[in-house]
Amino acid sequence: MSEINVVPYIDVMLVLLIIFMVTAPLLTTGVQVDLPNAPADPVPDDEEPFVVTVDINGDYYFDNETETPASEQEIRNMARIVLERNPDLPFMVRGDGGVAYSEVVKLMVLLQQAGVDSVGLVTDPPGT
């Protein structure tokens, strides 16, 4: 009686595992920003925060959207929608270290106008 050779299946599974391990970090990078360094406590992992990014050009992006920048009105609308669905969701701002401080404040004001009570700032730990 002949047995099924499972070695090719194992080879395919290992190749798929390697592909997923290599591509997974690329999916979470989002817009490239140079975050400022600051000693800060990490956000609890209870819930994934809603992140809005300000790049070096002052353009706004939602979460991991990297293709098209969002307008000020889109920022307000999206924040309202997110708040309606989950009022306890934390909001975070990823501001490039080289962007003008006024751009980060402007984004925080837009979120406040949408009803967001508290906004956190994303930073890199010192030495990174």
Q: Which residue has the higher pLDDT, 109 or 128?
A: 109
Residue 43 CA to chain centroid, in angstroms?
13
pLDDT tens digits along 13-63? 999 999 988 887 766 555 566 656 666 666 566 678 888 888 888 889 887
| pTM given for the model | 0.63
Tell me the domain boundaries of the chain. 50-121
CATH (residue range 50-121)? 3.30.420.270
pLDDT tens digits along 52-92? 888 888 889 887 677 788 888 998 999 999 899 988 888 88
Determine phi and psi for 15, rounding to 5 degrees: -65, -45
Alpha helices in 3-127 (DSSP H): 7-27, 72-85, 101-113
Residue 4 CA to chain centroid, in angstroms?
45
- Residue 95 predicted with pLDDT over 90: no
Burial of 66 (0-12, 13-18, 19+ CB in 10 A): middle
43, amino acid identity: V
Lowest mean pLDDT: which of 6-10, 96-100, 110-114?
A: 96-100
Please give the average per-residue pLDDT across 95-101, as a whole number. Answer: 85
Q: Which residue has the higher pLDDT, 119 or 63?
A: 119
